[in-house]
Amino acid sequence: MGKKRIIKKTEEELLRERDIIETAIKKERVKTRAEKIQEGKVYISSSYNNTIITLTDLQGNVLTWLSAGSIGFKGTKKATPFAASKVAEAFTQTVKKLGVTKVCVLVKGVGSGRESAIRALATRGLEITSIKDITPIPHNGCRPPKVRRV
C-alpha cells in the first residue's frame, strides 16, 4: 500500500466551484417561482366522522390538505355540512396563495359534507372544471358464510 496523496484545490478553484453551485441554485429558485401551478385536482373525502380536502397537481403530488379536525372541530361536529363548508373556505385561501385557479373535483365517501364542500369551493371563486364521484362500490361483496348445519 503506497502513501496516500490528497489533492488540495487552490482557493481560486474553490471559489469558482462555489460560484457555479450558487448560480445553479438561483436558477432553480427562479424556475419554481415562474412555474406557478394553475390547474389541480381537489379530492374531497367525506366520511361519517370527518371531511378531508386535498389539493394535488395534475400528476397527483400533494400540494396542501385540510380537514375539519385540523381547523378545530371536535367529535361529531367534524362530520357536519357546516364543518365541511368551513374547511372548504379555509382551503380556498391556501389554494389561491399557491396560484391555482382551475380545479377538477373528485368526491369520495358517504358523509354529509360532500355537497356543502363543493358549493363552498365554487362560491369562493375557484373555477371547477368537472365533478366526479370516486366512492368505492363493491361489485359482488364478500363471500357469504357457509350454511349452518344443526
Give residue-wise pLDDT tens across range 115-125: 999 999 999 99
Whether residue 32 is contained in a domain is answered as no
Average pLDDT, the chain: 89
CATH code for the domain in which residue 115 is found = 3.30.420.80
DSSP count for the chain of H helices, then E strands: 4, 5
Q: Please tell me what DSSP assigns to residue 36.
A: -
Helix or strand run (H / E) with residue 71: helix 68-71
Sign of CA dihedral 56, 60, 62, 68: positive
**C-alpha distances in Å from residue 94, one per residue of 76, 100, 122:** 25, 9, 15
Give residue-wise pLDDT tens across range 92-123: 999 999 899 999 999 999 999 999 999 999 99
- The whole domain housing 122 covers 39-133
Whether residue 47 is contained in a domain is answered as yes
Helix or strand run (H / E) with residue 77: none
Instruction: Calculate mean pLDDT across residues 62-87.
Output: 94
Q: Is the pLDDT of residue 1 over 70?
A: no
Q: Give the model's pLDDT for residue 31.
A: 53
pLDDT band, very low/low/confident/very high, at 57 (cuts 50, 70, 90): very high
Whether residue 148 is contained in a domain is answered as no
What pTM was computed for the model? 0.73
The number of domains in the chain is 1
Q: Which of 57, 65, 44 is nearest to 99 (CA)?
A: 57
pLDDT band, very low/low/confident/very high, at 30 (cuts 50, 70, 90): low
Q: Is the pLDDT of residue 9 over 90?
A: no
Whether residue 150 is contained in a domain is answered as no
